[in-house]
Amino acid sequence: QIQLLESGGGLVQAGGSLRVSCAASRLAFSTYHMAWFRQAPGKEREFVAAMTWTSNTDYADAVKGRFTISRDNAKNTVYLQMNSLKPEDTAVYSCAAGAQISIRNLRDPAQYNHWGQGTQVTVSS
């Protein structure tokens, strides 16, 4: 069973940038689809970005053009580069992994069976 650990969250001013990372514990990392989700207080978890094991990507409309997901299979790590941050981006960002997800279901959190603990990202005005 793969284990995930996020890092890199913090406090940033609106318009700034931040990169969060997700390190995986298993050598089979490269065969998993990876995704980032976020959850703000009082709100439901929402999809942010995903990258398949073949490096195809998908982004939520709210972050498209500002966020970039990438992965380094040699380091068993997936990243989320967040630029032009807005206060509404404030949330706990969690990474997720799944090996049996079809491309059409990448945005569905129920399709991911491995999750990190999350890292807090706070964007101030």
Average pLDDT over residues 40-63: 95
pLDDT tens-place string over residues 77-123: 999 999 999 999 999 999 999 987 888 899 999 999 999 999 999 99
Contacts of 120 (CB under 8 A, 6+ apart): 9, 10, 91, 92, 93
Alpha-helix runs per DSSP H in 18-101? none
pLDDT value, residue 40:
97
